[in-house]
Copies of this chain bind each other. A is one copy, B any other.
């Protein structure tokens, strides 16, 4: 498990039939969709949404993504995803993801996405203070 900086946020995801493949398991590209749901939930846990980030003129395109597939998930499995920020750089930052089974006893996959910050013309932006400060601590009583 990669150390994350600051709070983690958990969410659940139910595996649908359409996400599985002929091997009967969650298809490998679908994990990146679940990661996206995780970082959306992460941002919402801090009281805003990625839409709000875009409205402030900041876009967060993925520059690099990776995933290690530890064990399989199957149709109807209820997955637990933990998402946190593992690194801040001057003009980018990284989300880290751990996907567990329903009991959280079995690790299914681990991954990351590194995001640049760019304006609406795609020009790199240094991480704004308001953005980084937004994720320092979860609002009290928060839950998803």
Cβ A20 vs Cβ B22 within 8 A? yes
A66 to chain B, nearest CB (A): 4
Contact check: which of B14, B32, B49, B65 meets A76 at CB < 8 Å? B49
Q: Report chain B residues within 8 Å CB of A20.
A: 21-22
Closest B residue to A64 using CB positions: B68
Q: How far, in whole Å, are A22 and B54 apart by their CA atoms in the complex?
A: 11
Of A17, A61, A76, most buried by chain B (CB within 10 Å of CB) is A17
User: With A and B bound together, what is the CA distance between A30 and B27 in angstroms?
Assistant: 12
Chain A interface bracket (under 10, 10 to 19, 20 to 34, 35 or more): 35 or more
Chain B residues in 8 Å Cβ range of A50: 17, 75-76
A106 contacts the other chain (CB 8 A): no
| A8 close to B (CB within 8 Å) | no
Given contact pairs A14-B40, A21-B20, A29-B18, A62 touches B66 in the complex (Cβ within 8 A): no
Using Cβ atoms and an 8 Å threshold, which residues of chain B touch A1? Answer: none
- A30-61: CB near B (< 8 Å → 1, else 0) gives 10110011001000000001110000000101
- Can you give 11 contacting A-B residue pairs, CB < 8 Å? A14-B40, A16-B36, A17-B21, A17-B23, A18-B29, A21-B21, A23-B61, A28-B32, A49-B76, A63-B68, A66-B66
Interface residues of A (CB under 8 A from B): 14, 16-18, 20-25, 27-30, 32-33, 36-37, 40, 49-51, 59, 61-69, 72, 74-76, 113, 122
